[in-house]
Structure 1
Amino acid sequence: MVSYKVNAIYLNDIFNPKKNSLSFLRFVLAALVIFSHSYTLGGFGSEALFGSTQETYGGFAVYNFFILSGFLITRSYITSSSIWRFLWNRILRIFPGFWACLIITILIFAPIIYLAENSSLTGYFNSKTDHPLDYLKVNLFLEMRQYSIANLLKEIPFPKAFNGSLWTLIYEFKCYLLIAFIGALGILTKYKKFITYLFLCLWLIYIIDIAVPGAASKIFPYFSDIYLLRLSMYFLAGATYFLFIENIVISKKFFLFALGLTILSIQNNFYLLIAPLTLPYILFWLAFKLPFTNFDKYGDFSYGLYIYAFPIQQMLSFFGLNTKGFNIYFILSLLMSMIPSVLSYHIIEKPFLKLKTIQIKQIRLLFKR
C-alpha cells in the first residue's frame, strides 16, 4: 500500500498550466460541435453514434467544455488575488467576444442574407419583425431571448435562427458566479469535499430525472431548466478534479477502464448514467498526456470557433452549399468559421484579456457603478 502511494502518479504531478493539451482539446470540442450541427443545419438527418435517446456529438462536446471550465475556473478563483479580480477576469473572457459576435451578426451576417433576399438593404433596419437592434439589446447579457433577425433564413433546414450556439454562455457565466459565491464563503479552500458532495447530489438528481422525467423540477424547482442541472453538474465535476488534484491518481489502466466503460455504455444505452463519472477522467488524462502542448502557439481560437460557426453554417445552407454533401459542408463550415475565429482572438479577445492587469481599485469602482 505504501509503495503504491509512493510510486503513484497524481494529477498534480503532470499538471503544467503552461504546457498542456487543453487548447487542443477545446479546439477539437468546438469542431465536434460544428460536426454535430452539420447534421441539423445542413439537413442531413439525425446523428448516429450516440443515438437519439442518449446524446448528440454537440451535447457531448458541450458537457466536456463545462468539465474543462470547472477545472480551470476553480483554479482561476483560487489563484486570484480577490473575488473582484476573479470576476473581472471572467467578464473579460466571455463578454467582449460575445458582444462582438452579436454586433457582427447584425451588421454583416444578417445584412448579407437580407441583401440576397431583397436585392437591397433598404428596410433592413426598419424591420417590423425581430428588429436587428432588438437582437443586440435583448441578448446583451448572455441570455438568448431572440434568435431570428428581420424574419430572415426562412427556407433553410433549420429556419430563422442566426446563432443557436450562444445559449450555453449564460449557463457558463452562472457557473462562474457559483464558484465566486462558494469561494467567498471559504468553501473552496476549507471545505473542499462540499463541492464533491454537491456534484454527487446533482448526479443523483440527474439519474432520478432520467428514470422519471420531470422529477428534478419537483425535487428542486430551479431545475425545471434541465440544462442548468446537467451543465452545472459537469462543471462541478471539473471543479472537483482541481480541488483534489493532489489526490487523483493518473494511470493508463484507469484511463482505459474509463474509456472502455464509456464505449460500453454507448453500446448498451446507459451512457447518460455514467458519463459524468468517466468523462472527466478521460478528458484530463488526455489533456495532460497528449503531446499537443504548443497547439495555441498562434492563439486560442476555440471560443471564436464556437460562437461564429453557427451563423457561418446557416449562411452556407442559405447559399445552397449544403447540397454538396455532408463532408464538403462540414469541411467548409470548419474552414470558413476559422476566419472570424482568428480575427476575434487577435482583434477582440486578446486585447481585452490584456486588461486583466488593471488595478483592483479600478475594478471595484466598475462594480459599484
Structure 2
Amino acid sequence: MAGASALPTDSGSSRANAFNLLRLLGALAVVVEHSWVLSGHGTPLTPASGIGAGGIGVGVFFLISGYLISASWLSDPSPARYTLRRVLRIYPAYALVVVLTALLLGPLVSTLPAADYFAASGTWGHIVRGLLIQPVSYTLPGVFEGLPYAGAVNGSLWTIWVEVLCYAGVAVMGLLGLLRRRAVLAGLVVVALAATTVIHLTGYAGPLVPLVVSAFAAQPLAFFALGMLIRELRWVPPVWLTAVLLVVWPLLWGTPPANLGAIAAITCVTFLVAFRAPAALHRPTGSYDLSYGAYLLAFPAQQVLVLLGLREPWLVLLATTAIVLPLAALSWRLVEAPALRLRRRKPVAVPP
C-alpha cells in the first residue's frame, strides 16, 4: 500500500544519535495512516499537504537509511560483507512474517475451509513471491475479503523492494567511487525531487522504471538520496531553518510545491532531532530496535482488528500499538538480533 513502510538499518550505528527514536516514530506514523485507511476513514492527513502520515514515516526511514547505508559502505567497502550485512538485517524477519502470515494467520481468518485454503495455488504463490521480494503478493485466498481495504494482507511490503534497490544502488555507486562526489549526490537529489514532483502534480501511478519499480517509489528514493547527500555534507539543519520550514509547509498546502515543502520540513526535522535530541531520548526502547518488527507486523494486525469489527480509527491505532510492540520485541530478541550477530566483521590487520 502506498505510504507504508518501515525500513531497517544496522542497529549498532544509532548509539550517538536519535535514529532509533526516529525509526520508531516513523513506524508509528505508518500505523496511524493505516488505522484510518484500513478502517475505511481515508487518510488522516489531507492530500493537500503533499504527503500522508504514512509517507512521513516512509520519509524518515529512507532518510536514515540513505545516511547510514552509504556510511556503512564507506566504512567497509567490501561487496561481500556489505551484502551479507544487508541481507541479515532485512531478510530473516521479513521471510518469517511472510511464511507465518500465509501458514498461520491465513487459514485462521480465511473464508475458505482449511483444506481448500492450503490446496489453493494462491497460498503457495504468496509465499514464493513474498520470499523473492519482487513482485510481492498482497493477497491470500479468502483472506480479508469484504473489508474497507479488501483483500490486502500486508500492503506495507512494497517498500522492501525499493529499499533493496537502494542497497544495490549504494553498492554500485561505491564501486564506481561516487559516494564521495557531492555533485553526483546533489544531481541524484535534483532528479529524484523532480520525478516525485511530476508524479505529485499529475497523479501518475504507472511504472517509474518499467518492470522494476512503480511511481510510488519516487518519493522514498528522493528521501534516500537526500540522506546520502546530508551524510556527505555532514550537515545538521539549524533550528531556525527547521522552524521556518514547519511554518512554510502548511502555507503551501493545496499548491503545486506542497510536496517539496513536506520533503524539506521532514528532512530538517529528522536530522535536527537525530543529532540534537538529548541523549536520554536516543534509545527509547533500550537495546531493542522495534521499528522494523512493528512495520512488518502492523498491517496484518490492523486488518484482523477491522475484521473483528473494530472500525474507530483511534481504537484501531491504540489496539495495534498494544499488540504489535510486544511482538516486535520478540522479533528483535528471537530473530533480528541473532541474525545480526552472524555478520562478518571487517578484518583487522595484524601488526607485523
Q: TM-score, normalised by structure 2?
A: 0.86
| Structure 2 equivalent of residue 152 of structure 1 | 143
Q: Say yes or no: does 1:285 pair with 2:272.
A: yes
| Structure 2 equivalent of residue 126 of structure 1 | 119
| Structure 2 equivalent of residue 49 of structure 1 | 45
From 20, 28, 33, the equivalent of 2:25 is: 28
Q: Quote the Cα distance in structure 2 between the aligned partners of 1:164 and 1:91.
A: 21
**Matched residue SS, 2:252:** helix
Give the deviation of 1:294 after TM superposition: 2.8
| Structure 2 equivalent of residue 318 of structure 1 | 307
Q: Quote the Cα distance in structure 1 between the aligned partners of 2:129 and 2:206.
A: 29
State the one-letter code of the partner of 1:78.
Answer: L
Q: Map Cα deviations across residues 247-302 of structure 1 (whole Å, 9 max, x no partner).
A: x2542212212222223323756321333333212210011222312314140010
From 31, 35, 48, the equivalent of 1:38 is: 35
Q: TM-score, normalised by structure 1?
A: 0.82
From 74, 77, 92, the equivalent of 2:70 is: 74
| Structure 1 equivalent of residue 3 of structure 2 | none
8 Å CA contact 1:202–1:229 kept in 2: the answer is yes
Q: Map Cα deviations across residues 194-220 of structure 1 (whole Å, 9 max, x no partner).
A: 1111211222333344445559979x8
Q: Quote the Cα distance in structure 1 between the aligned partners of 2:201 and 2:109.
A: 44
Pairing of 1:1-369 with structure 2 (within 5 A) = 17-43=14-40, 45-51=41-47, 54-114=50-110, 117=111, 121-127=114-120, 130=122, 132-189=123-180, 191-212=181-202, 214=204, 225-245=214-234, 248=235, 250-266=237-253, 270-291=257-278, 292-322=281-311, 325-357=312-344
Q: Percent identity?
A: 25
Q: Map Cα deviations across residues 291-348 of structure 1 (whole Å, 9 max, x no partner).
A: 31231414001001001100101111111123xx222221001111123211111111
Q: Quote the Cα distance in structure 1 between the aligned partners of 2:212 and 2:119.
A: 39
Say which one has the larger Rg: 1
**Matched residue SS, 1:297:** coil
| Structure 1 residues 36 and 211: alpha-carbon distance in aligned structure 2, compared to 1, 3 A threshold | closer
Q: Which portions of structure 1, spanning 4 or more consecutive aligned residues, are displaced by more than 6 angstroms? A: 215-218, 220-224
Equivalences, count: 333
| Structure 2 equivalent of residue 8 of structure 1 | none
Give the deviation of 1:192 after TM superposition: 2.8
Q: How much is the aligned-residue C-alpha RMSD, in angstroms?
A: 2.6
Give the deviation of 1:63 after TM superposition: 2.0
**Matched residue SS, 1:143:** coil
- Structure 1, gaps ≥5 residues long: 1-15, 361-369
8 Å CA contact 1:144–1:166 kept in 2: the answer is no
User: Which shows bigger deviation, 336-345 or 95-104?
Assistant: 336-345
Give the deviation of 1:54 after TM superposition: 2.8
Q: Quote the Cα distance in structure 2 between the aligned partners of 1:20 and 1:210.
A: 32
Give the deviation of 1:48 after TM superposition: 4.2
Q: Quote the Cα distance in structure 2 between the aligned partners of 1:46 and 1:167.
A: 20
**Matched residue SS, 1:153:** coil
- Structure 2, gaps ≥5 residues long: 1-12, 348-352
State the one-letter code of the partner of 1:300.
Answer: D
Q: Quote the Cα distance in structure 2 between the aligned partners of 1:310 and 1:54.
A: 23
Q: Quote the Cα distance in structure 2 between the aligned partners of 1:285 and 1:267.
A: 26
Q: Quote the Cα distance in structure 1 between the aligned partners of 2:136 and 2:55.
A: 21
